[in-house]
Homo-oligomer: A and B are copies of this chain.
Amino acid sequence: MTKKVTDVNEYGEFGLIDHLTKSFGSTNPSTLKGIGDDAAIIKNAKDYTAISTDMLMEGIHFDIRYSPLKHLGYKSVVVNLSDIYAMNVIPSQITVSMAISSKYSVEALEEFYDGIKTACDFYNVDLIGGDTTSSLKGMAISVTAIGTIADKSKITYRSGAKKGDILCVTGSLGAAYLGLQILEREKQLFLSDKQMTPELDSHTYLIERQLKPEANKAAIEYFDKIGLIPTSMIDISDGLSSDLMHICKQSDLGAFIEEDKVPMIEEAKAAALVFNMDPITCALNGGEDYELLFTLDPMDIEKIKFMPDVHIIGEMVDKKDKLTLHTPGGSIHPLKAQGWNHF
């Protein structure tokens, strides 16, 4: 009898996690929310702790040939803080673990930690622990972010959207993905001709969105200031389609997006065309934007009228109406999650 061998690609990232953790339950009353949202929520005696963790692997999540270590340190922190903000919680602490091969010098690690420190200072979080060890090959980074919130009713899960809720997104989409395309193109040109100088200056913004993204702290602070609690929220790490699908699935709803309401800056649209891509495809499936996707009770729409850089892009509908894209020409297309597949 031979042992059964199933390739992990048969499941995909989310399917694999679901499959591997389906037999795990919660036994501690303090476990308020486990696997399946941007962060887990632990009930303390009088308040709540949100906790989220991400792993970044060299050659998979970053390419050391064009990602400066300072930027990498910064980004490693930011992508985790973004998950805490997506729960409508302000992060306050992080831990950073790192495994490195012998090719990394102390000076390289100083740059990496300099990026971590810059992020800690900017987002007002404390580095409180971690682990530093070696790897046989490449760099592995694991960051855990922690935040505390007093009022349980302010926590925003993916599962809270209601039919008729307004769908909103902050900032603009697709830029980080297009920044990556530019970096990859210049890397290939450089690898084929080491004398060439990468042409990056004309795309500073797109490249920065890829190498040094920001988490949307301002939006969460604004919600608090105006007394608004989104009915659901998620950060856009895998792409608008894929992340909206998480909200739909967990809220047991469908949604539509108006194509011409999806925010993209001109520079991103222009870059998409250079790569022979449809700009809306980059916005829908690009990923790594770390903007916030959230739903609002229509009664609250008045509250966001002066909120900077926020866009109403669609509406939550009945589950049977699925997830669709409405084009300016009046066509309706089904949306599929085509976010990052890490396997």
Q: Which residues of A approach B to under 8 Å, CB–CB? A: 3-8, 10-11, 13, 16-17, 19-21, 23-28, 30-31, 33-35, 39-40, 42, 44-47, 49, 51-55, 57-61, 92-93, 95, 97-100, 102, 104-107, 109-110, 113, 117, 120, 124-138, 140, 142, 144, 146, 148, 150, 342-343
Contact = CB atoms under 8 A, between A and B. Distances in A.
15 contacts: A6-B105, A11-B106, A13-B133, A21-B127, A24-B126, A31-B92, A35-B129, A40-B128, A40-B129, A52-B129, A55-B97, A55-B99, A57-B133, A134-B342, A134-B343
B53 A5 contact: no
Given A134-B342, A146-B42, A27 B126 contact: yes
A321 B223 CA distance: 59
Q: Which 8 pairs between the two chains have the least Cβ-Cβ distance? A: A142-B142, A40-B128, A6-B106, A46-B46, A45-B46, A59-B136, A55-B97, A45-B47
A148 B32 CA distance: 14
A92 to B, nearest CB: 4
Given A31-B92, A57-B136, A137-B136, A104 B45 contact: no
Contacts of A27: 124, 126
A30 B148 contact: yes
B150 A31 contact: no
Given A49-B49, A57-B133, A131-B54, A8 B146 contact: no
B105 A8 contact: yes
A148 B44 contact: yes
A28 to B, nearest CB: 4
Given A46-B46, A53-B142, A17 B124 contact: no
A269 to B, nearest CB: 30
Contact of A97 (B107, B132, B142): B142
Given A20-B109, A140-B140, 16 more contacts: A6-B105, A8-B102, A8-B134, A13-B132, A21-B113, A35-B130, A40-B129, A42-B146, A53-B95, A53-B130, A55-B97, A55-B98, A57-B135, A60-B99, A137-B138, A140-B142
